[in-house]
Structure formats: structure tokens, C-alpha cells
Amino acid sequence: MSLETPQSLTVSARDSAGNLVQSYASSNTVLWAALDSGWLTFADGRAETKFTMPFAAREFAIEVLDTSNGMYAYSNTFDVIGTPDHLEGGFRRTDHRTGCASVKGNLTLKMEDNAV
């Protein structure tokens, strides 16, 4: 998922066997996606919405909570790729020498975002 790119989300009410519970209806369900929350309205066991992530994150999960009965669930975790903001790098010598003349090695640079 990319930073600040609108995403579609469908939340389904399922029983312990994984079957869709079409009779589930609620307008008291809160979706926490990033820092914003919004209300979901279920019909026939499903609710659909769109959201954007305002910050980069690693292993982020979305929480859904029905405030009328306290039932809640979390999504699988996912990474949100942000705008590159720094370089991480290192050098590893491969010539197995200790002197400074004619050094051979591997230089590795990675562009990273600010996800924590």
C-alpha cells in the first residue's frame, strides 16, 4: 500500500466457520484506519468504505469495533510505503586485505522511508 493513496476496504461479518453472516446489520461500527476513524454501516453482513494512510508504517493493522456490543476484529498486518527520506548504507571489504591502497568491496545503499 502506498502513502496517501485511496484504498477500498470491504469488511465482512463472518461466523467462527468463516461463513458470511448476512443477517448482521449495524450502524454503530467504528473503523480505525491510521489516525482517522469513520463509521461503517453494515448491510447483508458487509460494509464498504475508502480510506487513506497519512503516514508510513510497518506491520500496520486496521481495527474494526462494533460499539453496540463490543465485538472487534483486526485486519492482517501490512506495510505502508512512504516517500523515501533517507539513505541507509554500508561497505563490506571483499579483498581480505588490511591496507588502504586499492581497496575492493561492496557498497550497499538503500533508500528508506520513515516507517518505524
69 φ/ψ angles, rounded to the nearest 5 degrees: -135, 0
State residue 31's pLDDT score. Answer: 66
- Is 112 a residue whose pLDDT tops 90? no
Tens of pLDDT along 1-59? 777 778 888 888 899 999 999 998 877 776 665 545 677 788 888 888 887 777 788 88
Q: Please tell me the pTM assigned to this model.
A: 0.60
Calpha distance 69→61 (Å, rounded): 21
> Taking CA 56 as the corner, what is the angle to CA 41 and CA 8, rounded to the nearest 5 degrees?
30
- Is 91 a residue whose pLDDT tops 60? yes
State residue 62's pLDDT score. Answer: 84
With helix as H, strand as E and coil as C, how does 74-116 read?
A: ECCCEEEECCCCEEEEEEEECCCCCCCCCCCEEEEEEEECCCC
Say which DSSP state 54 is in.
S
State residue 33's pLDDT score. Answer: 53
Calpha distance 98→37 (Å, rounded): 57
Neighbours of 92 (CB within 10 A): 8
Closest by CA position to 108, among listed 91, 84, 93, 86: 91
State residue 60's pLDDT score. Answer: 85
State residue 18's pLDDT score. Answer: 92
Tens of pLDDT along 55-78? 788 888 888 888 778 888 888 888
